[in-house]
Amino acid sequence: MISIDTLIAAGITPTLAKIFATPLAEACVRFGINSPKREAAFISQCAHESAGLSTLEEGLYYTTPERIRVMWPSRFATMAEAAQYLRNPQALANRAYANRNGNGDEASGDGWRYRGRGLLQLTGRANYLAAEAAINAPYKSQPDLVQTPAHAAMTGAWFFVSAGCLRGADAGDVVAVTRAINGPALAGLEDRRKRYDLALEAFS
C-alpha cells in the first residue's frame, strides 16, 4: 500500500513522500497497480526516472556537443551541428524531437511543447494526446499540467500500464519492465534493480 511511510521506506525523502503519497495512491488505484510487486515496479521506475520524485521535467541543458550526439546520434551528424544547440533547451528539444512521436517539424515548436515531463517522462504530442484521452485532462492545450504532482503520478501510471509493464511487474522481472519504459538500452538498470528491491520490501 502506498503511503507516506511506505514511500519513505522505499527511499523517497520525507518531504517528497508527503507531496506524492496521495497522488500516487490514487493513480495506482485508477490503473490497477494494486499489488506489492506492481507497486514496487512502478515506484522504482518512477524514482529512477525522476531522481527520487524530485525532477518532473526532462533536462535539456547541454554544455558539450559530444553529449548531444550521444543522446541523439541520428539528429546531429557533426559536432559543429550539435554545438549550435548548446545551452538552448528549447531549440534542442525542437530539433531532437521533430517529426517523431506525433510532433510536427522543428519550426512547429512541438518538441519543446511536448518535451519529457512527469514521473516517467511523457514525451511527444502523440503520447500527450493519448494520455489526455485516457485521463480526461487537457494535456494538449496545457502540457505543463504533467509537471504537477497529481498529473505526474496519473500520467506515469497510465504510461506504465499502457506500455505493458504489468506482466513484467507481476513476474518480478525488472529487465522486462525497464525495457518497456526505457527501450533496449536498459539505461540505469542497476539503479532500477536496487530501487525495486527496496520498494518491494517496503510494500510487502
Tell me: the pLDDT tens digits for 93-148?
999 999 999 999 999 999 999 999 999 999 999 999 999 999 999 999 999 999 99
Residue 45 near residue 19 (C-beta atoms within 8 A): no
What is the average pLDDT across 159-166? 98
Question: Rounded to an integer, what distance in angstroms lies between the CA atom of residue 92 and that of residue 76?
Answer: 10
Q: Mean pLDDT score of the chain, rounded to an integer?
A: 97
| Percent of the chain with pLDDT strictly greater than 70 | 100
Name the residue among 57, 26, 41 with its Cα closest to residue 135.
26
Asked if residue 167 has pLDDT above 90, the reply is yes
DSSP string, 125-175: HHHHHHHHHHHT--TTT-GGGGGSHHHHHHHHHHHHHHTTHHHHHHTT-HH
Asked if residue 185 has pLDDT above 90, the reply is no
Amino acid at 12: I
pTM for this predicted structure = 0.94
What is the average pLDDT across 43-64? 97
Name the residue among 149, 134, 175, 174 with its Cα closest to residue 32.
134
Amino acid at 116: G
Q: Please name the residues in contact with 158: beta carbons below 8 A apart, sequence gap of 6 or more.
A: 27, 31, 131, 134, 135
The residue behind cell 487537457 is 138
Name the residue among 136, 101, 131 with its Cα closest to residue 115.
101
* pLDDT of the residue at 84: 96
Alpha helices in 50-88 (DSSP H): 65-71, 79-83
